[in-house]
A = this chain, B = another copy of it.
């Protein structure tokens, strides 16, 4: 195996573009100086476009989970009622965060591998008028499902004025997100997915309605108190020392996304999903989700007649190719192929070619090349450019 070659095709962390790496290697600057203010000022309008909002987007130094916790602690209080829609491991994480704060959680649990139905959400909210916030997952990383969050707010708003709070960690930046048009109140994401960066920053976009709720909440913690970030952002600064190298990288990544064009970025992710799904279908290997529910950023594969873990070990040792396994009760039963961020249709073709060889080497009978050809045909049919 060629030394020092690795193909990271998990649903985050994702590979880092060389130009982003170079940007992150810039020497340190004073975090209270004018260069940092200028950096925050340049980042902000670009970030707003990615979220589809005219509101400022708060940047917190932390893992994505700290952003999810910020969304909880700023908007609701102990003993408040909320609805959490659980479509997989990350929906379940919202439940755990709420329970850690003594919040009363109604759960709408959907079979892993399926998206939620907004009508079911509406029914729960209608039957429980005390619900103050609805928590949903945009892309459920653990199952490769993309939930219909674009329809969520309008449906809930027919019966309730609960806040709509969305975990967008594993897709925002790679799929269309129109927070303002869709009526979403809070969207959270992290840097290590479609933003093409290492983990370490979390972004929290907040609607005017949610800011009103937050500013009237006197119990917001300290480090995750979003009002501190908002008032500092108004002065182009941050309340606490930010992870500057990640801000350098973020600036470069946003410039890359702008140069490609956000619509083109989203079209590329959709194409990569379709190529990946076409390949597994051509190889007659079952997918966990339907076409309708499938995420643009990660594809979950559900082998019936070969060992997912043996297959993952084989491609890792053969090519340095890493795909993700299943989580919780899907552990050992599925594997997940990431196709987001710094990943192109050409990368998808290479990944599928390696996967085919890995299948053969782990004893699965396939017609070699058939998956790659199916993906190539999708690419050609769409008249796409890499």
Contact = CB atoms under 8 A, between A and B. Distances in A.
Given A29-B13, A324-B30, A69 B221 contact: yes
A351 interface: no
Interface in A351-372: none
A61 B202 CA distance: 11
Contacts of A24: 24-25, 245
A33 interface: yes
Contacts of A101: 221-222
Interface stretch (A14-22, A142-150, A154-162, A290-298): A14-22
Nearest to A60: B62
A20 B30 CA distance: 19
A7 to B, nearest CB: 10
Contacts of A65: 222-223, 239-241
Please classify how large the interface on chain A is, using the bins under 10, 10 to 19, 20 to 34, 35 or more: 35 or more
Given A15-B27, A27-B15, A69 B222 contact: yes
Contacts of A63: 61, 223, 240-243
B245 A64 contact: no
A8 interface: yes
A281 interface: no
A101 B221 CA distance: 7
Given A24-B245, A27-B8, A96-B222, A62 B64 contact: no
Interface in A219-258: 220-225, 239-246
A24 B25 CA distance: 8
A28, A30, A61, A192 — most chain B CB neighbours (10 Å): A28
Given A61-B61, A66-B223, A223-B65, A199 B244 contact: yes
Contacts of A332: none
Nearest to A325: B32
A303 interface: no
Given A28-B16, A30-B13, A198-B245, A221 B100 contact: yes
A80 to B, nearest CB: 16
A200 interface: yes
A221 B225 CA distance: 14
A274 to B, nearest CB: 25
A239 B64 CA distance: 11
Interface centre among A15, A25, A63, A324 (most CB of B within 10 A): A63
Contacts of A8: 27-30
A65 B223 CA distance: 7
Given A198-B243, A200-B246, A322-B33, A69 B28 contact: no
Contacts of A32: 324
A10 interface: yes
A246 B198 CA distance: 9
A69 B223 contact: yes
Contact of A6 (B29, B61, B242, B322): B29
Given A8-B29, A25-B25, A29-B322, 4 more contacts: A24-B245, A61-B61, A63-B243, A245-B245
11 contacts: A25-B25, A31-B199, A61-B63, A62-B66, A62-B223, A69-B221, A69-B222, A96-B222, A97-B223, A192-B241, A243-B243
